[in-house]
Chains A and B, each alone.
Chain A
Amino acid sequence: MSALDPQLSGGLAVPGADSVVTLPAVQPGGGADSRLPARRVRLIRSAAWQNRLAVVGLAILVLLTLFCFVGPLIYHTDQVSANLALENLAPSAAHPLGTSAQGRDELGRLMLGGQSTLEVGFAVAIVATLFGMVWGAIAGYVGGFVDAVMMRVVDAVLAIPFLFFIVLLAEILRPNLIVIVISITAVSWLSTARLVRGEVLSLRTREYVAASKSFGARHWYVIFRHLTPNVLGVVAVNATLKMADAILAYAGMAFLGLSIPPPATSWGDMLTNGINQYYNGYWWQLWPAAVAIVLIVLSVNLVGDGLHDMVERRLERH
């Protein structure tokens, strides 16, 4: 574990450290700020040690990402053409995880499916977080009637069981990777919006914001220069958990037949096909995809939980 520690804690620190580092800058005259970079590194390192599970999660996440995106460069397979002579072969030296019903190598397929799965996960986490932050920041900052309307919209979309909404959107727009990302994003930005609005409401009455306004700062400047950096920690936690939920939602969509058309695939598609094929005795078409999904969601959740603990501890030190 200690061998992993310095390298991985550097990676872990990024979202948390960003928000910490910006604090002195956005708090002109915010009091005696004695936390120096060296001390911060020590804090982060000890935080990583306290969050060993998160470090393990991050390691799994990095390894799976490498497996999916770098793996195909090393392990070449034909994932486009079907080869019926090779259909449903059990695992062997030539095909470590066997072959699919179309005779495609399952290990290569796992890499390909992981690409779209991870792309959806990352894209939804980023887009939904940005959109939710802007929405929540505006609602919380402007307040009054605008706030009431904006937050009732959030309540309303939140009340629609998300999978029904996603399926309806994807059905109307017809699924491809971008539509899938848009559909899942449409239900994923809500929690960020609520979170950011709440934080902004509590922050906007602080002295440094009032001071900035009294110097003639514009609204947009106050939102993006002062308020946004302060909520980044909580938002980073939320974004991580969002990624896990997005991957699960995408898997659910694939099960309902809303996914990218073959020969492209995702882990959810492989799992769905694997279920049907399991009844024929082709177990190798089910379990690898199942393990992959569980591992990725588990690792992302572990990272999110670890970040959560770090942010909580940071808040407690204030």
Chain B
Amino acid sequence: MTGYLVRRLLQAVVVMLIVSVIVFILLHALPGGLVRAQLGPKASTFQVHQLEVTEGLLKPLPVQYLIWLVNLLKGNLGFSYHYNQTVASLLTRYVPRTLLLAGISTVLAIGIAIPMGIWQGFRRNRVDDHVLSATMLILYAMPAYLLGIIGIIVLSLDFPLFPSTATNYGAGFGTDVAVLILPIGTLMLGNITYYSRYMRSSVIDNLLEDYVRTARAVGNAPRRVLLNHVLRNSMSSTMTMIGLTLPYVLSGALIIEELFNFPGVGLLFWNATQTRDYPVLLGVVLIVTLAVVVGSLIADLGYALLDPRVRYVRS
């Protein structure tokens, strides 16, 4: 287990390093350069040169990268001229809200999709399975914001149960539950479509395995086989899949936050695209990627705990 853990950690570090290189290259591919982005098109040549010198932009690119990387490791992600504060302080304010939004909706989605997938796998090709599958296919085909707008139309305009914006969210989870329901619900529905489809086919695959036949042959009831044997085997592969969908969850959050005006890291990112606030854009990309890498690390460790075979094969 320790060997596996170390290998997996090293891999995560390598991935983050490559991401930092990609982000750095993007930073230097900006039209007109970083300096123009900060000073605007009207800046004089002298001002441009001055900032280039102070920001160290005339040094060779690999040197610049190393300086940038060292700053990054110190927690210095740059400075937002639009918000007039450091990117790091912006992120510490916005990131937890998005993690809350994405986290709750993922946990709820898992809690609903896994029993649903098991049910569908068990009742495969019957009417209830077909109805659920069709519903999931249609939901899957909807852009996240269409799902959200339908939620708003039904639950906020037709039946005014929940507010349609989360603009004022920020006080805390306990006080703003009503505000969170529609954004979380939308993001959750999107996730359920992924997870339940996967869980269903995983359960069906497992039900065809020899061990199921053996377990049935020695006299176990179907329900018992399903819950004791199939569930565990299907769960472990679904865990990996959930780890792999984290980028989708956060991408969904970007849309949902913009739709509901939820002040999370997605909205921060979107606003930064409008004001061309490059340090914020790049800081956000780095931090959401870090969230994904850490998340999939946790999912993989969960997989290794659930399924001892992984530990032996990979380490």
Contact = CB atoms under 8 A, between A and B. Distances in A.
Given A159-B247, A275-B149, A301 B255 contact: no
Given A159-B292, A256-B270, A164 B250 contact: yes
A172 B26 contact: yes
Contacts of A298: 137-138, 140-141
Contacts of B296: 159
Contacts, number: 126
Contacts of A155: 11, 15, 18
A171 B26 CA distance: 11
Interface in A271-290: 271-272, 275, 278, 286, 290
Interface stretch (B166-174, B217-225, B230-238, B283-291): B283-291
Interface string A232-247: 0000000000001000
A159 B251 CA distance: 11
A108 B59 CA distance: 54
B113 interface: no
B153 interface: yes
Interface in B113-163: 137-138, 140-146, 149, 153
Interface in B205-253: 246-248, 250-252
Given A153-B18, A156-B22, A252 B289 contact: no
A152 interface: yes
B300 interface: no
B99 interface: no
B18 A271 contact: no
Contacts of B246: 161
B77 to A, nearest CB: 15
Given A256-B270, A301-B140, A156 B149 contact: no
B31 interface: yes
A171 B273 contact: yes
Contacts of A278: 149, 153
A164 B257 CA distance: 13
B19 interface: yes
Q: How big is the A interface, by class?
A: 35 or more
B251 A293 contact: no
A297 interface: yes
A164 B251 contact: yes
A256 B258 contact: yes
Contacts of B248: 161-162
Contacts of A251: 143
A244 B289 CA distance: 24
A288 to B, nearest CB: 12
Contacts of B153: 278
Nearest to A255: B145
A4 interface: no
A171 B292 contact: no
A252 B269 CA distance: 14
A255 B147 CA distance: 13
B254 interface: yes
Interface in B272-315: 273-274, 276, 281-282, 284-285, 288-289, 292-293, 296
B254 A163 contact: yes
Given A252-B143, A297-B141, A159 B255 contact: no
Nearest to A286: B149
B251 A252 contact: yes
Contacts of B73: none
Contacts of B252: 163
Interface of A: 152-153, 155-165, 167-169, 171-172, 174, 244, 248, 251-252, 255-258, 268, 271-272, 275, 278, 286, 290, 293-295, 297-298, 301-302
Given A160-B292, A290-B142, A293-B146, 18 more contacts: A156-B19, A161-B247, A163-B252, A163-B254, A163-B255, A168-B282, A172-B30, A252-B143, A256-B254, A256-B270, A268-B143, A271-B146, A278-B149, A293-B141, A294-B142, A294-B146, A297-B142, A298-B141
Interface of B: 11, 14-16, 18-19, 22, 26, 29-31, 137-138, 140-146, 149, 153, 246-248, 250-252, 254-255, 258-259, 269-270, 273-274, 276, 281-282, 284-285, 288-289, 292-293, 296
The 7 closest A-B pairs by CB, nearest first: A163-B251, A156-B18, A297-B141, A161-B250, A298-B141, A251-B143, A161-B247
28 contacts: A152-B11, A155-B11, A155-B15, A156-B16, A156-B22, A160-B19, A160-B22, A160-B285, A161-B247, A161-B250, A162-B247, A162-B248, A163-B252, A163-B254, A164-B250, A164-B288, A167-B270, A171-B273, A172-B30, A251-B143, A252-B251, A255-B258, A272-B145, A290-B142, A290-B146, A293-B143, A297-B140, A301-B137
